[in-house]
């Protein structure tokens, strides 16, 4: 059976490359190639820049209300095609349908809708300086680049294109080569909604295509989502042309469970923050610090619920709530961390093995895994695993728990479970993380800025401030009085 071959999406349509180079995309749940994609060669890259220049000229000249109206039309189309798009995400990523059907497209559409609404509300300032005055304009940056990870491909493309386009920029987006189709579908939707050709181009390929975007002198900003190590390369490369950067990187986030917490709720948060999307979420609370008074109760309930309530299998089955990891490589990496956890002395509470569900025997599944008796120096406690592997640690002193939670070079997210309102705020204020939850975990509405402290990131996505990251301020001084000149 022949599989489809997708081309790069440039200037409002598909563009054939000249090199003929393609790459294959596999369904992680079946290990089968589902389609091929053409790599963006020099011809495509050049066309992407040239059309983005033209698209930008047209798009940035429109009024914010006009842009907003077109983006809202795209939001409508995204929502109307929810199921078609959600299915693409399931087949590309291996995540469960029951998640994609209500999260991936919706949260992407929400963000475009949010920024479409904000665009016309962005205003400059005016201030008198004696009889003279100045005013400022919020102007778009020009051509921006977005580079995405594979865990939420469509959502990431929406989260980057929403503010970029609302502010009047053009965006060239490179999805991960593991999950390239969602961004293409978004490009088709933008085009159908009336976004001018060239304003949203999709280029395909691996690191080399990403590197080209970070180096290009024609690109003013790069917004990147991916690993810390790749992020550092992107920043270094972007420095060559002094590009603006937004970095959404990895995490190793702590969740602190105090002895007055609602333990069932805390277990729910820990499971969501480790097993949702089979653990492939950047904000996951992979270090769970539990107060010694409730430690046994916590791990007893955690073990029971993990063993009874998780259903792995064909991700398209709506009953399935644990999907396949993105690739065989990543699967092996995660299994390697599990081996390390065992060899370094952690106790395997549950899981710890690869799974071969009857409905998806060739998929890259890993059982939801919980390690107890963990210590702060273990590899599984220090490094981001990006799979369904939770480490549980004990504490008995608040200050010590905060110190241990902060003892990492990462700072993406953190959470606290306690019924003591003063403690909740006191503790969360001391945690070094950009995205925090009290008696909750993982929610990320469009209105809330997200981004990391320390090496987890630079800048923010979502929330009002993100629009500032896609504009530059022009100050205009207006002389109302004669110039006083010594010449
Ligand atoms: P990677 O860093 O491996 O890749 C991210 C993107 O960068 C991909 O499109 C990749 O291309 C591209 N890329 C690779 N090398 C370069 C380079 N030298 N220059 C420019 N681009 C390059 O991340 P993953 O895709 O493996 O995603 C998982 C990571 O993403 C985790 O660390 C996770 O924590 C993080 N993440 C962070 C989020 C946040 O909001 N903070 C959200 C989601 C994920 P290709 O893959 O095609 O080779």
Q: CB burial class (10 A; 0-12, 13-18, 19+) of residue 479?
A: exposed
174 Cα nearest atom in ligand 1: 9
**280 Cβ inside 6 Å of ligand 1:** no
DSSP string, 338-355: HHHHHHTT-EEEE--SEE
| CA 60 vs CA 129, 198, 222, 483: distances in Å | 30, 12, 18, 34
Q: What is the pTM of this model?
A: 0.98
Quick one: which H or E segment has residue 156? helix 153-166
Distance CA 100, CA 79 (A): 13
If you compute the radius of gyration of the chain from its CA atoms, what whole number of angstroms results? 24
214 lines ligand 1 (CB under 6 A): yes
**Which of the residues are catalytic?**
160, 248, 282, 461
Q: Is the CB of 174 under 6 A from ligand 1?
A: yes
Question: Which ligand 1 atom is the nearest neighbour of the CA of 150?
Answer: 25
* Per-residue pLDDT at 1: 62
Residue 403 in tokens: 């110190």
C-alpha–C-alpha distance, residues 254 and 240, integer Å:
35
Are 215 and 197 contacting, i.e. CB atoms less than 8 angstroms apart?
no
177 in contact with ligand 1, CB cutoff 6 A = yes
Q: Name the closest-CA residue to atom 40, ligand 1.
A: 248
C-alpha 227 – ligand 1 centre gap (Å): 5
- Give nearest CA residue, ligand 1 atom 34: 250
Q: Evaluate: CB of 113 within 6 angstroms of ligand 1.
A: no
Q: Report how far residue 372's alpha carbon sits from residue 393's, in angstroms, rounded to the nearest whole number.
A: 6
- The atom number, within ligand 1, closest to the CA of 152 reads 43
Q: How far apart are CA 170 and CA 57, in angstroms?
A: 9
Q: Which of 382, 405, 411 is nearest to 283 (CA)?
A: 411
pLDDT at 2: 85
Two tokens, residue 449: 């800025």
To test the ligand 1 pocket, which listed residue (22, 230, 285, 412) has its Cβ within 8 A of the most ligand atoms? Answer: 230
Whole-number Å distance, alpha carbon 149 to ligand 1 midpoint, is 4
Residue 387: what are its φ and ψ, rounded to 5°? -150, 180
Tokens coding 480: 């109302």
Q: Which helix (H) or strand (E) holds 106?
A: helix 104-118
Task: Classify strands 22-27 and 32-38 as parallel, antiparallel or unpaired.
Answer: antiparallel
Expressed in angstroms and rounded, the spacing between residue 226 Cα and the centre of ligand 1 is 3
Ligand 1 in reach of 102 Cβ (< 6 A): no
Is the CB–ligand 1 distance for residue 238 below 6 Å? no
Element (H, E) at 235: helix 228-239
- Looking at ligand 1, which residue's alpha carbon is closest to its atom 23? 226
Per-residue pLDDT for the chain (487 aa), expressed as one digit of tens each?
689 999 999 999 999 999 999 999 999 999 999 999 999 999 999 999 999 999 999 999 999 999 999 999 999 999 999 999 999 999 999 999 999 999 999 999 999 999 999 999 999 999 999 999 999 999 999 999 999 999 999 999 999 999 999 999 999 999 999 999 999 999 999 999 999 999 999 999 999 999 999 999 999 999 999 999 999 999 999 999 999 999 999 999 999 999 999 999 999 999 999 999 999 999 999 999 999 999 999 999 999 999 999 999 999 999 999 999 999 999 999 999 999 999 999 999 999 999 999 999 999 999 999 999 999 999 999 999 999 999 999 999 999 999 999 999 999 999 999 999 999 999 999 999 999 999 999 999 999 999 999 999 999 999 999 999 999 999 999 999 999 999 9
Euclidean distance between CA atoms 122 and 63, whole angstroms? 12
Strands (E), 167-259: 170-174, 200-202, 221-225, 244-248, 254-257
Q: DSSP letter string over 468-480?
A: HHTEEEEEEEE--
Closest CA to 29 of 320, 229, 380, 386: 320
Query: For the chain, how many helices (H) and strands (E)?
Result: 16, 25
Residues 358/312, Cβ–Cβ less than 8 Å: no
Instruction: Give me ligand 1 centre to Cα 335, in Å.
Output: 20
Nearest Cα residue to atom 32 of ligand 1: 227
Q: What length is written for the chain?
A: 487
Q: Mind giving me the DSSP string for 357-400?
A: -TT-TTS-EE--EEEES--TTSHHHHS---SSEEEEEEE--HHH
Contact 230, 224 (CB under 8 A): yes
Q: Decide: helix, strand or coil at residue 126.
A: strand
224 C-alpha to ligand 1 centroid (Å): 7
Kindly give the distance from the C-alpha atom of residue 349 to the centroid of ligand 1, in angstroms, as a whole number. 31
Q: Is 149 in the pocket of ligand 1 (CB under 6 A)?
A: yes
With H, G, I as helix, E, B as strand and everything else as coil, classify residue 254.
strand
- Does residue 225's CB lie within 6 angstroms of at least one atom of ligand 1? yes
Per DSSP (E only), the strands in 253-318 are 254-257, 287-291
412 lines ligand 1 (CB under 6 A): yes
Is residue 251 within 8 A of residue 282, CB to CB? The reply is yes
**144 beta partners:** 171, 221
Q: What is the DSSP secondary structure assignment for residue 325, as one 8-state letter? A: -
Handedness of CA 62, 65, 67, 73 (dihedral sign): negative
Phi/psi class of residue 35: alpha, beta or left (left: φ > 0; alpha: ψ in -120 to 50)? Answer: beta
Give, in degrees to the nearest 5, the angle at Cα 208 between 205 and 211: 115
* 276 Cα–ligand 1 center, Å: 19
């Amino acid at each position: 059976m022949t599989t489809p071959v997708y081309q790069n999406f440039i200037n409002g349509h598909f563009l054939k490359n000249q090199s003929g180079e393609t790459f294959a995309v596999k369904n992680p749940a079946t290990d089968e190639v589902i389609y091929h994609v053409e790599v963006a060669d020099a011809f495509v890259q050049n066309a992407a820049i040239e059309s983005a220049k033209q698209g930008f000229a047209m798009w940035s000249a429109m009024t914010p209300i006009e842009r907003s109206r077109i983006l809202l039309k795209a939001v409508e189309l995204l929502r109307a095609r929810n199921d078609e798009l959600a299915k693409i995400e399931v087949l590309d990523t291996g995540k469960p349908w029951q998640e994609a059907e209500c999260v991936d497209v919706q949260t992407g559409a929400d963000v475009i809708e949010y920024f479409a609404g904000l665009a016309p509300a962005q205003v400059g300032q005016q201030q008198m300086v004696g009889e003279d005055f100045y005013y400022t304009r919020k102007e778009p940056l020009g051509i921006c680049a977005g580079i995405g990870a594979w865990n939420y491909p469509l959502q990431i493309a929406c989260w980057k294109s929403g503010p970029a386009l609302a502010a009047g920029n053009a965006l060239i987006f490179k999805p991960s080569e593991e999950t390239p189709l969602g961004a293409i579908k978004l490009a088709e939707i933008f085009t159908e909604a009336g976004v001018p050709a060239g304003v949203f181009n999709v280029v395909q390929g691996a690191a080399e295509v990403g590197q080209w975007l970070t180096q290009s002198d024609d690109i003013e900003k790069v917004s990147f989502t991916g690993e810390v190590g790749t992020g550092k390369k992107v920043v270094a490369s972007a420095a060559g042309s002094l590009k603006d950067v937004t970095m959404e990187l990895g995490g190793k986030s702590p969740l602190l469970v105090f002895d007055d917490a609602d333990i069932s709720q805390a277990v729910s948060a820990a499971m969501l923050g480790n097993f949702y999307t089979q653990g492939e979420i950047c904000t996951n609370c992979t270090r769970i610090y539990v107060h010694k008074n409730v430690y046994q109760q916590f791990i007893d309930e955690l073990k029971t619920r993990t063993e009874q309530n998780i259903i792995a299998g064909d991700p398209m089955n709506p009953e399935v709530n644990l999907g396949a990891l993105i690739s065989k490589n990543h699967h092996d990496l995660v299994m390697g961390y599990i081996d390390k956890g065992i060899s370094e002395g952690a106790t395997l509470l549950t899981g710890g093995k690869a799974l071969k569900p009857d409905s998806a025997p060739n998929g890259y599944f890993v059982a939801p895994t919980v390690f107890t008796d963990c210590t702060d120096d273990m590899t599984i406690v220090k490094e981001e695993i990006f799979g369904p592997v939770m480490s549980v640690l004990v504490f008995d002193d608040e200050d010590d728990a905060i110190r241990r939670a902060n003892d990492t070079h990462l700072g993406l997210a953190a959470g606290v479970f306690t019924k003591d309102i003063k403690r909740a705020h006191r503790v969360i204020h001391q945690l070094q993380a950009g995205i925090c939850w009290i008696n909750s975990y993982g929610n990320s509405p469009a209105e809330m800025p997200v981004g990391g402290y320390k090496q987890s990131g630079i800048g923010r996505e979502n929330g009002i401030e993100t629009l500032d990251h896609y504009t530059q301020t022009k100050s205009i001084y207006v002389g109302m009085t004669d110039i006083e000149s010594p010449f």
